[in-house]
A and B are shown apart, each in its own frame.
Chain A
Amino acid sequence: MNEALLRSLTPSVLGILVRRGADFAAAEDAVQDALVEALRVWPADPPRDPKGWLVTVAWRRFLDQARSDTARRRREELVDEEPAPGPTPAVDDTLQLYFLCAHPSLTPSSAVALTLRAVGGLTTRQIAQAYLVPEATMAQRISRAKRTVSGVGVSPARATSRAGARFDQPGDVATVLRVLYLVFNEGYSGDVDLATEAIRLTRQLAAVIDHPEVAGLLALMLLHHARRATRTAPDGSLVPLAEQDRGRWDTESIAEGVEILQAALARDRLGEFQAQAAIAALHADAPTAEETDWVQIVEWYDELARLTDSPVVRLNRAVAVGEADGPRAGLAALAALDGSSPSPSRKGSAVPRHAAVAAYLHERDGDLTTAARLYAEAAQQAPNLAERDYLTRQAARLNTDRSR
């Protein structure tokens, strides 16, 4: 029994049911039933057309359910008139699912959960484990999300005219990409690797929609993922970019990312994921940290700042300026950013990691006292354990050096 095959077929089977007019939640239940049936029947009697088989069984389940529901008699007559299921092109149906799962009426965590479930075909238990919450909590989150998008309703008539059309709007693509990037950034825990899952789903999306930012995100994920094994030491501590073992970077993944990015950039419709991927590509391209093309990286940060105007981007730009033109220039760029009074609360008003960047630039400028103080301050504001430990060690390193 090929579980990977089943998982890869799930979204398009679900998409076909939704497109034929099945309510999202009911369609999802029917597909789950069909998958259970497949696990039971296929080992002894493998179908010639696995997808056609799944569509047929799922559709029958859906009809049974609709029939047993007297309140839905009118719709039952409607669906009964539909032609018998046969081989169906999957393209638009899967796209529809991505759109539904990233619907603006869902909160980010619900959108992520529903995407992993409906498009990714993961079980509720797997998703709950990945997010370290009880299975019951995740089950509720997913069923609420299903109810929410069921209310949205994509009838066959409207699917092409409205929802399908809306998906072509850049704003909608952006929502889907944001959800996929959230999945990627969750990293992984337990037996589900969310980064790999996000790459798989973005690949699928790139196969059904022709959009430079989809390619940009896929390139970005591949370039980041290529360095993953070198980002942490065996004890879990953080290894900064300059100290990573470049020999262990996944060159195949880097080459693929660069190729996808170049094709996207050639279309001259720049977006923030392409710009971020360009920066990642410049890092991945450098044979040593010293040979990094910081001047070009600063230029890409300028583009990125123009596209997003996010304080985090301007903070990263200050780091790049510090490398390209020296720490004084970096500190000047940093001073232009209002992060001077990071509050101890986590309201997000202060720019995250501002103190860490300031500490690094002051150290390179030779002001070790200020640097040590800022590293300690940065450690207190760190959003995760690995970063906190790393910054605490930096502060300790400078403090011990000076006391000798």
Chain B
Amino acid sequence: MAKYLLLKHYRGAPAAVNDVPMAQWAPEEISAHVQYMQDFAARLEKTGEFVDGQALAPEGTWVRYDGEGRPPVTDGPFAETKDLIAGWMVIDVDSYERAVELAGELSAAPGAGGKPIHEWLEVRPFLTAPPTITE
């Protein structure tokens, strides 16, 4: 019973096995890919393991506080960052093993040629409030 974040990266992850840029896929391959992700989320809703999931735009902006009374500093939009997040899903599962199993399944979403992409996903546990027993 722990929550995990499954992170899908635009860039920065090791190359997928079936590494063809999405722009070069056939439209029906993209539909199949999207359908796979939706089915996956729907199935986790049924098993009671789904918490939340969203897709993120590839563009982002760095923001920093720049002192009292001054507007925040921004730098961007940038497209060259090595590591942008494409989307995420939060799951609530019984064990780390189950989280890895589900991430593996998500990584097998179909890509170019209808074959699994075998892309790399990041699995990160949520830090939580302390349990009753720690001492």
Q: Give the distance in Å from the alpha carbon of A182 to the alpha carbon of B45 in the complex.
A: 23
Q: Which residues of A contact B52 (CB under 8 A)?
A: 134
A184-205 interface bits toward B, Cβ cutoff 8 Å, 1 = contact, 0 = none: 1111010000010000000000
Tell whether B40 is near chain A: CB-to-CB under 8 Å.
Answer: no
Instruction: Point out the residue from A138, A144, A195, A241 that lies within 8 Å of B135, measured CB to CB.
Output: A241
CB distance from B89 to the nearest CB of A (A): 12
Q: Are A189 and B132 in contact (CB-based, < 8 A)? A: no
Q: Are A131 and B1 in contact (CB-based, < 8 A)? A: yes
Q: Are B127 and A109 in contact (CB-based, < 8 A)? A: no
Q: Are A108 and B134 in contact (CB-based, < 8 A)? A: no
Q: Are A140 and B132 in contact (CB-based, < 8 A)? A: no
B104-135 interface bits toward A, Cβ cutoff 8 Å, 1 = contact, 0 = none: 00000000000000000000010111111111
Q: Are B132 and A228 in contact (CB-based, < 8 A)? A: yes
Who on chain B is nearest to A144 by CB? B48
CB distance from B44 to the nearest CB of A (A): 8
Q: Are A137 and B129 in contact (CB-based, < 8 A)? A: no
Q: Are A385 and B96 in contact (CB-based, < 8 A)? A: no
CB distance from B127 to the nearest CB of A (A): 5
Q: Are B130 and A387 in contact (CB-based, < 8 A)? A: yes
Q: Are A140 and B48 in contact (CB-based, < 8 A)? A: yes
Knowing A133-B51, A140-B47 are in contact, say whether A387-B92 is a contact too (CB < 8 A).
no
Who on chain A is nearest to B44 by CB? A137
Q: Interface on chain A toward B: helix, strand, loop, or mixed SS?
A: helix
Interface residues of A in 169-191 (CB under 8 A from B): 182, 184-187, 189
Tell whether A232 is near chain B: CB-to-CB under 8 Å.
Answer: yes
Number of B interface residues at 8 Å Cβ cutoff, please give it. 24
Q: Which residues of B contact A185 (CB under 8 A)?
A: 131-133
Interface residues of A in 227-246 (CB under 8 A from B): 228, 231-232, 238, 240-241
Instruction: Point out the residue from A113, A134, A186, A346 that lies within 8 Å of B51, measured CB to CB.
Output: A134
Tell whether B49 is near chain A: CB-to-CB under 8 Å.
Answer: yes
Tell whether A383 is near chain B: CB-to-CB under 8 Å.
Answer: yes
Q: Are B96 and A386 in contact (CB-based, < 8 A)? A: no
Q: Which residues of A contact B47 (CB under 8 A)?
A: 140-141, 144
Q: Which residues of B contact A346 (CB under 8 A)?
A: 96, 125
Q: Give the distance in Å from the alpha carbon of A140 to the alpha carbon of B125 in the complex.
A: 23
Q: Give the distance in Å from the alpha carbon of A238 to the alpha carbon of B130 in the complex.
A: 9
Q: Give the distance in Å from the alpha carbon of A186 to the alpha carbon of B131 in the complex.
A: 6
Number of A interface residues at 8 Å Cβ cutoff, please give it. 44
Q: Are A387 and B134 in contact (CB-based, < 8 A)? A: yes
Tell whether B88 is near chain A: CB-to-CB under 8 Å.
Answer: no
Tell whether A354 is near chain B: CB-to-CB under 8 Å.
Answer: no
Tell whether A224 is near chain B: CB-to-CB under 8 Å.
Answer: yes
Q: Are A108 and B94 in contact (CB-based, < 8 A)? A: yes
CB distance from A182 to the nearest CB of B (A): 7
CB distance from B46 to the nearest CB of A (A): 6
CB distance from B100 to the nearest CB of A (A): 9
Q: Are B1 and A386 in contact (CB-based, < 8 A)? A: no
CB distance from B87 to the nearest CB of A (A): 18
Tell whether A110 is near chain B: CB-to-CB under 8 Å.
Answer: yes
Tell whether A388 is near chain B: CB-to-CB under 8 Å.
Answer: yes
Tell whether A107 is near chain B: CB-to-CB under 8 Å.
Answer: yes
Interface residues of A in 124-151 (CB under 8 A from B): 131-134, 136-142, 144
Q: Which residues of B contact A195 (CB under 8 A)?
A: 132
Instruction: Point out the residue from A108, A138, A224, A386 that lies within 8 Å of B48, measured CB to CB.
Output: A138
Q: Which residues of B contact A283 (CB under 8 A)?
A: 135
Tell whether B50 is near chain A: CB-to-CB under 8 Å.
Answer: yes
Q: Which residues of B contact A240 (CB under 8 A)?
A: 135
Q: Give the distance in Å from the alpha carbon of A381 to the alpha carbon of B90 in the complex.
A: 21
Knowing A137-B49, A140-B48 are in contact, say whether A347-B131 is a contact too (CB < 8 A).
no
Instruction: Point out the residue from B96, B131, B133 that lies within 8 Å of A348, measured CB to CB.
Output: B96
Q: Which residues of B contact A142 (CB under 8 A)?
A: 48
Q: Which residues of A contact B3 (CB under 8 A)?
A: 132
Q: Are B127 and A133 in contact (CB-based, < 8 A)? A: no
Q: Are B49 and A386 in contact (CB-based, < 8 A)? A: no
Who on chain A is nearest to B100 by CB? A347
Q: Are A384 and B94 in contact (CB-based, < 8 A)? A: no
Q: Are B127 and A388 in contact (CB-based, < 8 A)? A: yes
Q: Give the distance in Å from the alpha carbon of A392 to the alpha carbon of B117 in the complex.
A: 40
Q: Give the distance in Å from the alpha carbon of A211 to the alpha carbon of B94 in the complex.
A: 28
Q: Which 9 pairs of residues, A with B, have the shortest CB-CB distance? A: A141-B48, A140-B48, A386-B130, A109-B1, A185-B131, A241-B135, A107-B94, A385-B127, A384-B130
* Chain A interface residues (CB < 8 Å from chain B): 107-110, 112-113, 131-134, 136-142, 144, 182, 184-187, 189, 195, 224-225, 228, 231-232, 238, 240-241, 283, 346-348, 382-388
| Selected A-B contacts with CB under 8 Å, 25 pairs | A107-B94, A108-B1, A110-B48, A131-B1, A131-B92, A136-B45, A138-B48, A139-B48, A140-B47, A144-B47, A185-B131, A185-B132, A186-B131, A187-B130, A189-B129, A225-B132, A241-B135, A283-B135, A346-B96, A346-B125, A348-B96, A383-B125, A384-B131, A385-B128, A387-B134
